[in-house]
Amino acid sequence: MVLGQIQEKMFKNKILTTKGEIINYGKINIVAGSAGILLASIGGMMLGLTYNDFFKDGSYMIDLSRAFLKAAHTHGQPLAMYNLIFALLINQVVLTDRSRKIASWAAVLSLVMPVGMVLRGLTDGAMTFAPVAMIGVLGFFVSAGFLLAGCTGMNENRKA
């Protein structure tokens, strides 16, 4: 295949813009996912460094604040991984450019959930920041819904 035919095929599949720039809606998800893994790992390390202080009489007793910080760590890691996986999939599903952009930003928004948990942990479990975590849940469901909708339009015999 000559270069002109390859470019024509790429234009048809909307991989390139009319200016020849590559469209990649997953880039923000790679950045957000990588940052999320780093921050959640640092949070887990900090929890681990203070682990012995909470062992009394052979049992692990934690208060509500620490429980929310622990939940932020354990939810932050998989949501960050979700963003990395999402970045690999978003350009493969059958969606409009607008839908890809919305889905991509919704996936990034899912990382707000662990932020809401950290805020609740820092405020001794105050319900003030409960809606912040719910914004992240909404972002996750919206992005997953777009991926699912895009998969239903895919052809099983699709060539790469």
pLDDT for res 124 = 87
CA distance 34 to 41: 11
pLDDT tens digits, residue range 117-126?
999 999 988 8
Question: What's the CATH number for 25-152?
Answer: 1.20.120
pTM of the model: 0.77
Asked whether the beta carbons of 147 and 90 are under 8 A apart, the reply is: yes
71-75, 101-105, 155-159: least confident range:
155-159
CA dihedral 46, 47, 50, 55 (to 10 degrees): -170
Give Cα 103 to chain centroid, integer Å.
Answer: 10
pLDDT for res 49 = 83
> Residues near 108 by Cβ (< 8 Å), separated by ≥ 6?
28, 29, 32, 83, 139
Residues 114-141 have a mean pLDDT of: 92
Give Cα 87 to chain centroid, integer Å.
Answer: 9
pLDDT for res 101 = 92
> Residues near 142 by Cβ (< 8 Å), separated by ≥ 6?
102, 103, 106, 109
Maximum CA pair distance of the chain? 73
Where do the domains of the chain lie?
A: 25-152
pLDDT tens digits, residue range 63-77?
888 889 889 999 999
- What amino acid is encoded at 124 in this protein? D
Asked whether the beta carbons of 88 and 105 are under 8 A apart, the reply is: no
CA distance 133 to 113: 4
